[in-house]
Chain A
Amino acid sequence: MQQLRGQENALLQQLSVQVSTPCEGRIYPSLESDESYALDVSGGQATLKAQEVWGALWGLETFVQLVYTTNSGEFVVNDTSITDKPRFVHRGMLLDTGRHFLPKRTLLQNLDAMAQNKLNVFHWHIVDDPSFPYESRAFPELSNKGSFYPGSHIYTPSDIQEIIEFARLRGIRVMAEFDTPGHARSWEEGQKGFLSECYSGGTRNGMYGPADPTKNSTFTFLKEFFTEVASVFPDQYIHVGGDEVNFTCWQSNPAVGDFMQKMGFGDNYAKLEEYYMQNLLDIINSLGRGYMIWQEVIDNGAKVREDTVVGVWKWRNFSWSDEMARMTEQGYKVVLSACWYLSRISYGEDWKTYYACDPYSFKGTDAQKSLVMGGELAMWGEYVDDTNVLPLSWPRGSAVAERLWSPQDVNSPVLAEPRLVEQRCRMVRRGIPAQPISGAGGCPEEFGGN
């Protein structure tokens, strides 16, 4: 058992933790959690006080980071006084297990890494066009037919439970995203008829488009599917996607064309998209859950609940700052990911760019700014899997984590760099292969041992 020494050789033997609100039983973190805490080390005493257990967890993480070893190998911690709470309540990380499978052990390891950086939302973009690894009890064929390899490349109900519990114990919310009506190619194999069939010159050409809103079976299926999702994922919010819906297939399909006439939508397929999203959102609503959606749903005119959280993600030839203004002006809560596409790697110290991006960088009133719930770093999976996800995510993700937690004026990359170097070596020591990001150097304890 190690004994810690504060300054003046005081011997620190315990850290006493005081949480005001009861935290027994299975309680989950939420958007409304109080993550504040106060940590005090002086005169050989250390105390940690928090309103809720979530603050206490962050206080413990902070305390662990205060401990360091001297040249003579002793564990020490300096007299310190901290009062802390996050600037933003939604500090998320997106992983994409639709483009490449990520095994459960890697998801768990990543949750540890998130906790070391006080990130509190695991945005699990679990399925997409290429694969459907989510094992549904009600619709087992979805993963049987839609996963890359049903024997191994799936998340069973118990895998998911394990991930959610692991996250909960670290104060991390797990928000699942089942993206539709686009990005849903992998659903078709196990749920025949879910997607629109595409036509070439009047005949079916074997390709598929977005989910087919013209059939009643679509929404019956979605209701049953999302009822299960709501029972599996306890978080208040479910992310229902809604991005990048391509209209070409709908435009080619005669049955869809008939439906458009019947509904009086004319040639305006954005209305069909809105119709789909409306029905989907009503389903989620009826389940008593809130929803997070990608910005297109609002951009294309759908009517959504007031407590909807909108993900602002578009960056290519697009001003996310204008979009933030637009969304908050309409009164929606927003979460920014557009400047934090960490999957778009480049040579050198790109962490500085991520560090410099501020979610308040848009023209708006204080009321609008207060609608910014926070942001998410996105690690999309086109070129990412188990071989490289952790080194690519860390410590570049740490730059985003500080932007979302710390005060707005903590934004000098020059000052941050030596601290980031320490954070990286700390993560390496704690088993996360966080890659080098500030040029030549070395950690005292390298990854995997020396």
Chain B
Amino acid sequence: MTSNFSKMVEGSRKMVSLLFVLSLFSALSDAKLSVTPTKGVPWPMPMDYKTTGKQNTVDAASFRFTTRSVECDILLDAYVRYREAIFGRNADRFHAMRQSPKFVQMFSQEGDIGEVSVDVSKPCQGSYPSLESDESYSLSVANGQVMISAQEVWGALWGLETFVQLVYKSDTGEYVVNDTIISDKPRFAHRGLLLDTSRHFLSTRNLLRNLDAMAQNKLNVFHWHIVDDQSFPYESMAFPELSSKGSYFPESQVYTPTDVAEVIEFARLRGIRVVAEFDSPGHTQSWGLGQKGFLTECYSGEKPDGSYGPADPTLNTTFPFLKQFFAEVASVFPDQYIHLGGDEVSFTCWQSNPVIKDFMQKMSYGTNYAKLEEYYMQNLLDIINSLKRGYIIWQEVIDNGAKVRPDTVVEVWKGGWEEEMEKVTKQGYKTLLASCWYLNYISYGSDWTTYYTCDPQKFNGTDAQKALVMGGELTMWGEYVDDTNVLSRLWPRASAVAERLWSPQDVNFPLVAQPRLIEQRCRMIRRGIPAEPVTGPGTCPVEYREP
């Protein structure tokens, strides 16, 4: 603790923490006063964050972002977004009107800071983010100047997001930002959020709003669990019947190629990867409606009983179909990785089917249906491999013994994850953790603290093993979630996971995080996301308005 007092003048992260704890304890003892939120403190917490109390006013009328070196579409789009994020919807009108004397009289706020200067080293026009992206940046607010510099545009985007969060309204209503020095980069490269658009459809509009919310929390992978048993809303150009027969309402609850392209582009401009998951051989009931013969027919005794099981690995139509289907998927989704699922494969239907039983004999699998599952996955993985894409799979594929490429990413979702992480990393696979972040499992009270304190590297393993943890994902499975409640249920609980995945490991005291989380929630509300209350009674200065 003594070493931190020497940094007191600079107001380091830890000192800020101590002050928060002290103020918290005094605040909580009075029934009326809820916890006071911070002002202008970023979320997630940067790796290195030093701030003084010196306030600079921001000149709203003349404010602009400028690029010092490399210019590109991503930066230009960000500048428009972030000016609005700071000053509200009227930002552009302010900018355009600033020449009018009357306007200048009314709205002009002579300020110290009128410009944010952005410096990106590598060219970025038309780029897509990837697992290897450099997301580091440095940000300084000093001597009336704001500078953001980054190797790649992805870092610059995060620097801009951080800067926007530093701006707050003083007691007199001016836009201000404190002198600040930040050097920042994420702890984990893969910080994902899963949405399930099969159990319930989610409008494209809400997918886009959610990408905005993710960007406000520096989450960088949208794991789109797009189809499942119950519905198939993905409109395939090669196989249109998949959605025309498999979606809930083909007229309205499908994602057209345009919708999908819109989501991918919207994400790209925010530094977010879109990883599509087409889960098989299980979780595929809806495929069978539009693709007859894809699923296994289940038998009662000698005859099919009308029900279906997982994809049928024994038919010679299955893998040609999958090859053509995934060739299209690879052309639609530019990310290097495709998620292939592979979870929860039930063997009962396979066991009942005589054709399958014959196949098992022929292949010498005996009665070991895990081998049939492996056979299916192997073929599927080979297809993706031939398309030159990497794959992410759920843990069962490895648990059941399939052989996969070394650069496969394995996603751990079941209980007992500490042992599983140890096992999977020992085998040399890159790993993602989802198990402790099933945000669809709601409960009463401040469950965000549980999500906040789950650490993906808390398992027995060597440093080399720990280095294989790419990050993790929070999941919002769709059984009880749709457009009416998805955003309020996700946020700001997902923010807790976002900080765990971005910030250093020792930023993990919920009590200290709480006032910052309250500020982050109110910030998100001001920026149009209906983030729900998660810390008890209180309020935001600007309440939520449906945009």
Which of A131, A348, A446 counts the most chain B CB atoms within 10 A? Answer: A446
Inter-subunit contact B532/A387 (CB<8 Å): yes
**Complex Cα spacing A231 to B146, Å:** 57
- Asked if B504 is an interface residue, CB under 8 A from chain A, the answer is no
- Asked if B478 is an interface residue, CB under 8 A from chain A, the answer is yes
- Asked if A441 is an interface residue, CB under 8 A from chain B, the answer is yes
Give the residues in chain A near B230, CB-CB below 8 Å: 440-441
Interface string of B201-220 (1 = CB under 8 A from A): 10101000000000000000
Inter-subunit contact B198/A152 (CB<8 Å): no
Inter-subunit contact B544/A386 (CB<8 Å): yes
Give the residues in chain B near A444, CB-CB below 8 Å: 249, 252
**Complex Cα spacing A242 to B480, Å:** 37
Q: Which residues of B (229-255) have their CB < 8 Å from a CB of A?
A: 229-231, 248-249, 252-253
Interface string of A323-366 (1 = CB under 8 A from B): 00000000000000000000111111000000000000000000
**Of the candidates A100, A206, A344, A428, which one forms a contact with B444 in the assembled complex, judged by CB atoms under 8 Å apart?**
A344
A-B residue pairs in contact (CB < 8 Å), sample of 24: A100-B533, A129-B537, A185-B32, A206-B30, A207-B30, A345-B443, A345-B444, A346-B442, A346-B444, A383-B445, A384-B533, A387-B533, A387-B544, A388-B485, A434-B484, A437-B480, A440-B479, A441-B199, A442-B231, A442-B249, A444-B249, A446-B201, A447-B484, A450-B253
**Complex Cα spacing A387 to B538, Å:** 13
Q: How many A-B residue pairs have CB under 8 A?
A: 152
Give the residues in chain A near B445, CB-CB below 8 Å: 383
Which of A189, A346, A382, A449 counts the most chain B CB atoms within 10 A? Answer: A382
Given contacts A345-B443, A381-B537, contact A436 B543 (CB under 8 A): no
**Complex Cα spacing A208 to B205, Å:** 48
Give the residues in chain A near B532, CB-CB below 8 Å: 383-385, 387-388
Which 7 interchain pairs have the tightest Cβ spacing?
A: A387-B530, A433-B484, A442-B248, A440-B199, A148-B539, A99-B537, A130-B537
Inter-subunit contact A435/B480 (CB<8 Å): yes
Inter-subunit contact B482/A435 (CB<8 Å): yes
> Secondary structure at chain A's binding surface: helix, strand, loop or mixed?
loop
Given contacts A130-B537, A439-B480, A447-B484, contact A388 B444 (CB under 8 A): no
Inter-subunit contact A149/B231 (CB<8 Å): no
Inter-subunit contact A100/B538 (CB<8 Å): yes
Chain A residues with a Cβ under 8 A of chain B: 98-101, 103, 128-131, 148-149, 152-153, 185-186, 188-189, 206-208, 343-348, 381-388, 390-392, 428, 433-437, 439-442, 444, 446-450
Inter-subunit contact B530/A388 (CB<8 Å): yes
Inter-subunit contact B539/A448 (CB<8 Å): no
Chain B residues with a Cβ under 8 A of chain A: 29-32, 34, 198-201, 203, 205, 229-231, 248-249, 252-253, 440-445, 478-485, 488-489, 525, 530-534, 536-539, 541, 543-544
Give the residues in chain B near A435, CB-CB below 8 Å: 480-482, 484-485
Inter-subunit contact B443/A382 (CB<8 Å): no
Of all chain B residues, the one with the shortest Cβ separation from A434 is B484
Which of A153, A186, A386, A449 counts the most chain B CB atoms within 10 A? Answer: A386
Inter-subunit contact B479/A439 (CB<8 Å): yes
**Complex Cα spacing A207 to B32, Å:** 10
Inter-subunit contact A440/B478 (CB<8 Å): yes
**Complex Cα spacing A99 to B199, Å:** 34
Inter-subunit contact A345/B533 (CB<8 Å): no
Inter-subunit contact A130/B484 (CB<8 Å): no
**Complex Cα spacing A386 to B544, Å:** 7
Inter-subunit contact A130/B538 (CB<8 Å): yes
Give the residues in chain A near B203, CB-CB below 8 Å: 446, 448-450
Determine how close the nearest CB of chain B comes to the CB of A196; give it in whole angstroms: 13
Give the residues in chain B near A441, CB-CB below 8 Å: 199-200, 230, 248
**Complex Cα spacing A381 to B479, Å:** 25
**Complex Cα spacing A434 to B483, Å:** 10
Give the residues in chain A near B198, CB-CB below 8 Å: 440
Of all chain B residues, the one with the shortest Cβ separation from A132 is B32
**Complex Cα spacing A207 to B28, Å:** 11
Inter-subunit contact A436/B200 (CB<8 Å): yes
Given contacts A382-B537, A446-B201, contact A428 B484 (CB under 8 A): yes
Given contacts A149-B539, A441-B200, contact A129 B31 (CB under 8 A): yes
Of all chain A residues, the one with the shortest Cβ separation from B491 is A387
Give the residues in chain B near A153, CB-CB below 8 Å: 539, 543
Of all chain A residues, the one with the shortest Cβ separation from B539 is A148
Determine how close the nearest CB of chain B comes to the CB of A448; give it in whole angstroms: 6
Given contacts A100-B537, A130-B34, A391-B488, contact A436 B442 (CB under 8 A): no
Inter-subunit contact B442/A383 (CB<8 Å): no
Give the residues in chain B near A207, CB-CB below 8 Å: 29-30
Inter-subunit contact B534/A383 (CB<8 Å): yes
**Complex Cα spacing A435 to B530, Å:** 15
Inter-subunit contact B488/A387 (CB<8 Å): yes
**Complex Cα spacing A111 to B537, Å:** 23
Give the residues in chain B near A130, CB-CB below 8 Å: 31-32, 34, 537-538
Give the residues in chain B near A189, CB-CB below 8 Å: 32
Given contacts A149-B539, A440-B199, contact A383 B444 (CB under 8 A): yes
**Complex Cα spacing A208 to B32, Å:** 9
**Complex Cα spacing A435 to B231, Å:** 18
Of all chain A residues, the one with the shortest Cβ separation from B252 is A450
Of all chain B residues, the one with the shortest Cβ separation from A380 is B537
Which of A99, A392, A435, A444 counts the most chain B CB atoms within 10 A? Answer: A435
Given contacts A436-B482, A436-B484, contact A448 B205 (CB under 8 A): yes
Inter-subunit contact B32/A186 (CB<8 Å): yes
Which of B30, B483, B536, B537 counts the most chain A CB atoms within 10 A? Answer: B537
**Complex Cα spacing A433 to B487, Å:** 12
Given contacts A186-B32, A436-B480, contact A346 B543 (CB under 8 A): no
**Of the candidates A103, A185, A390, which one forms a contact with B543 in the assembled complex, judged by CB atoms under 8 Å apart?**
A103
Which of B249, B440, B445, B488 counts the most chain A CB atoms within 10 A? Answer: B488
Give the residues in chain B near A391, CB-CB below 8 Å: 484-485, 488
Determine how close the nearest CB of chain B comes to the CB of A181; give it in whole angstroms: 13
Inter-subunit contact B488/A347 (CB<8 Å): no
- Apart from the given pairs A345-B443, A386-B544, 4 other A-B contacts in the complex at a CB distance below 8 Å: A387-B533, A388-B485, A433-B484, A442-B248
Give the residues in chain B near A439, CB-CB below 8 Å: 199, 479-480
Inter-subunit contact A347/B442 (CB<8 Å): yes
Inter-subunit contact A129/B443 (CB<8 Å): no
Determine how close the nearest CB of chain B comes to the CB of A349; give it in whole angstroms: 8
**Complex Cα spacing A343 to B444, Å:** 8
